[in-house]
Amino acid sequence: MEPVIPQPTPFGLSLRTALTMLAFTIVFTALMAGTYEATQSTIAASAEEAKLQLINEVLPPASYDNALLRDELKLAAAPELGLPKGASVWRARKAGQPVALVLEAVAPDGYAGKIRLVMAVMQDGSLGGVRVVEHHETPGLGDYIDPKKDKNKAAPWIEQFKALTGQAWKVKKDGGDIAYRTGATISARAVTNAVARVAAFARSEQAHLYQQGAQP
């Protein structure tokens, strides 16, 4: 006589299914946690590398020797930079002496909204350089403020700011020295005015900004 195999009850089936799902969830969570731990440092390193690469476009790497990204000052509020809810300032030094301030900022009055910037203001008040990092200006018209979109690769519009000292940081239409492209004055004016405000802030506050916080 063949043995009688007991049939699982509905409760037993539900319990077995629940235990299987629980085991799967535990294994999946463990795998995800392991993957996150394994990739977290790589992701962080890539983000820092990208940030430093951008900063080095406005400030020559040879001009400083400190760990720039570690020498960061967080401002709780920075309306002068167009960032009332806070901003970052990175302090470049060489042999322990101040070289430049690298600041993030926003021009609030672009043609199509806010224009995010990063710029370096040297210790003597001149500019190391300016880069547009985010904007929504009209493609093919106002987007020349971004060197990646500027069709003039030999002499991008944004390079006009390099080494300027601030005597006439206005577009030529407003009586300044900064050239602009016909039909796209608003974009150029927004960036130029923001650069002038940020540079003035950096020059007036540089001693205070360098003194805040401990030097890493």
Q: pLDDT 10s digit of each residue in the chain, 216 long?
A: 555 555 556 655 566 666 666 666 666 566 566 555 556 555 555 667 778 888 999 999 999 999 999 999 999 989 999 999 999 999 999 999 999 999 999 999 999 999 999 999 999 999 999 999 999 999 999 999 999 999 999 999 999 998 777 667 889 999 888 999 988 899 999 999 999 999 999 999 999 999 877 665
Residues 6+ apart with CB under 8 A from 179: 157, 160, 171, 172, 188
In this prediction, residue 15 carries a pLDDT of: 60
β-partners of residue 134 are 116
Kind and range of the H or E element at 43? helix 10-58
What is the reported pTM?
0.76
- First-last CA distance in the chain: 83
| DSSP string for residues in 181-199 | -TT-HHHHHHHHHHHHHHH
The span from the CA of 128 to the CA of 109, in Å, is 23
Cβ atoms of 52 and 68 within 8 Å: the answer is yes
